[in-house]
Amino acid sequence: MPTVVLTTLNARYAHASLGLRCLRANMDDLRDDTAIREFVITTPPAQIAAELLALAPRIVGFGVYIWNVEQTARVVELLKAAAPQVVVVLGGPEVSHETEQQAICRRADHVITGPGDVTFPRLVRQLLLGPPPLLKVHAGDQPDLGQLVLPYAEYTDTDLRHRHVYVEASRGCPFKCEFCLSALDRTAWPFPLDRFLREIDILWLRGARRFKFIDRTFNLHAGNSVAILEYFLRRLREAPQARPFLHFEMIPDRLPDALRALLAGFPAGSLQLEVGIQTFNPAVQALISRRQDNAVAESNLRWLRANTRAHLHVDLIAGLPGEDLASFAAGFDRLVALAPHEIQLGLLKRLRGTPIVRHTERYAMRYAETAPYEVIATAAIDAETMQRIRRFARYWDRVANSGRFYRGLPLLLGDAPFDRFMAFSDWLHGQTRQTHSIAAEELYGAVHAWLLLQRIEPEVARSALTQDYRDSGARGRLSFAAPAARCEATLSSSSVTPERQRRHLRLVH
């Protein structure tokens, strides 16, 4: 039985926790007495508590995040009620700030705020060997990345076959965007490049093909980025059939020629770039301390779309202080014109510890009190309009981002994307009264009905949506199609490419 159990509740099974693996890798002589047990947020808390107690640990360390804090709090409550002698240690971004205000922190024995790589093993030794720690809250020490044991050997062969492999070439971020916890970082620190690439090579030789880089700014250190991309391109040249799927998060206004040349060399289905635009409004950018050259960012996105086969996922935030609906709509339309494969619309979240709180009073920012702490209203956008934006975002994800409406989406958006889709969103909610659990066939039928209301030629609407349905890979019957549309398409990109990206890339490339 392990002495120490490291655990967390992931959003999905495919999301293996890098944080837990970093901790176990650095437990030194206690590593073999430390086990990792992962769950998903849909698992009942009582079941999680029972499975943890069955291991009879002396110490349980929880990774706590915005997406799992409510469920984790219930697990901790059950665990301490059943076995008060088990020492509960919390860590993670959600409990690294405002700890005195959180019930989960009050129930725990210890809380580590900030990095836990060296602080957690030290705390465990104190708990097991003495002297006992006097403090409940422990500030995590910023580790020397060159001295850390890298965590990649902690991924099992099952992980490599069935889950994303999360990796980090650097930590931290030099930028100060006030909605992000990285605003608290002093700078960004790269891991020693040679060591990192050796570990990536070992993962590759073990069969890993899905790599998700969690670096906030992958293209910040261009030299390191070039070396990493060159590594994967070399592997692709050696074995073209062993195509990887790589995800990088990039700064939008920094794309040197060396990176361009390499990015252009990746085949379709192998590369996803997440680019945070967040807002195009210069006054709002200045207000939240976001440095971004919008003209350069636009130029870079156009270049990536025209000259690479990367899947482009671009982020936009609604509800930022000082931004009204007209400004958000203009930014959305500006982004649609750049034609990224996905536009991820998110509502502003008041993450614990972020400097965004300094605008609360002046801009009448109102947030939900429970996770994920989304904005409810601002001085510029009232609660009803914010709710309409929330529905818009959900429907946009189902229709536009899904890749299922390649031909139907242009008919839906016309020459006024935001206004046209908002009108559709309002109508669809009026018809269904729901934003979730809409079956694919029902959604196709709703888009078809709306297009007819907008006086789109019936045969044009029917033909476009019927072909979209076939190409999406769905199997079923469409109420407006005769004969019934059924799946005829096959997915041709690499099997490691997520299905949504394959739907986009099959049609576009």
Summarize pLDDT for 63-80 with one digit per residue, the tens: 999 999 999 999 999 999
For residue 486, the model assigns a pLDDT of: 47
pLDDT at residue 273 greater than cutoff 70: yes
Nearest 5°: CA angle at 338, between 442 and 424? Answer: 30
Q: What is the 3-state secondary structure (H, E, C) of 424-477?
A: HHHHHHHHHCCCCCCCHHHHHHHHHHHHHHCCCCHHHHHHHHHHHHHHHCCCCC
Contact 167, 152 (CB under 8 A): yes
Beta pairing class for 87-91 and 59-63: parallel
* Omega of the bond leading into 93 within 30 degrees of 0 (cis): no
- Taken in order of first residue, the domains within the chain and their CATH numbers are 4-139 (3.40.50.280), 155-381 (3.80.30.20), 402-509 (no CATH)
Alpha-carbon distance of 361 to 376, in angstroms, equals 14
- Write down the mean pLDDT value for the chain: 94
- The model's pTM: 0.92
Beta pairing class for 165-167 and 210-213: parallel
More confident residue, 354 or 489: 354
Q: Which residues contact 247 (CB under 8 A, 6 or more apart)?
A: 164, 211, 212, 213, 272, 274
Least confident of 110-114, 195-199, 237-241, 292-296: 237-241
Alpha-carbon distance of 486 to 444, in angstroms, equals 13
Alpha-carbon distance of 171 to 352, in angstroms, equals 19
pLDDT tens for residues 293-333?
999 999 999 999 999 999 999 999 999 999 999 999 999 99
Contact 144, 115 (CB under 8 A): no
Beta pairing class for 375-377 and 366-367: antiparallel
- 1: three-class secondary structure by DSSP: coil
Alpha-carbon distance of 203 to 224, in angstroms, equals 18
Report the pLDDT averaged over residues 362-388. 97
Q: Where are the beta strands (DSSP E) in 370-421?
A: 375-377
Quote the DSSP letter at residue 183.
Answer: G
Confidence of residue 489 (pLDDT cuts 50, 70, 90): very low
pLDDT tens for residues 102-154?
999 999 999 999 999 999 999 999 999 999 999 999 999 999 999 999 999 99
Alpha-carbon distance of 244 to 267, in angstroms, equals 10
Structure tokens at 1: 């039985």
Confidence of residue 482 (pLDDT cuts 50, 70, 90): low
Report the pLDDT averaged over residues 416-423. 98
Q: Which amino acid is at 10?
A: N
Beta pairing class for 170-172 and 188-190: antiparallel
Confidence of residue 483 (pLDDT cuts 50, 70, 90): low
CB count within 10 Å of CB 44 equals 12
Helix axis angle for 440-453 and 458-472, nearest 10°, is 160
CA–CA distance from 178 to each of 253, 289, 351 (Å)? 18, 6, 10
Q: Which amino acid is at 349?
A: K
